Amino acid sequence: MPITDVFVALADPRQTNKVQHSLAETLTVAVCGILVGADTFEEIQAWA
């Protein structure tokens, strides 16, 4: 099962007109960043 599929069922509480990326995509990038050793939002952003 792709990691993105795990997050697809989550409800997205964000305002849809202010969203550039889906919640599933954002969480997938965050998890992958953590798996490669990123410890902060800045490190996850730099990795992504």
First and final C-alpha spacing in the chain: 22
Position 3 scores a pLDDT of: 87
What domain range is 41 assigned to?
3-47
Domains in the chain, number: 1
Q: Which helix (H) or strand (E) holds 6?
A: helix 3-7
Q: Please tell me what DSSP assigns to residue 14.
A: S
Give, in order, the Cα–Cα distances in Å from 33 to each of 18, 20, 25.
Answer: 23, 19, 12
Mean pLDDT by runs of 10 across the 48 residues of the chain is 89 94 95 96 96
Position 23 scores a pLDDT of: 95
> Length of the chain, please?
48
Position 1 scores a pLDDT of: 82
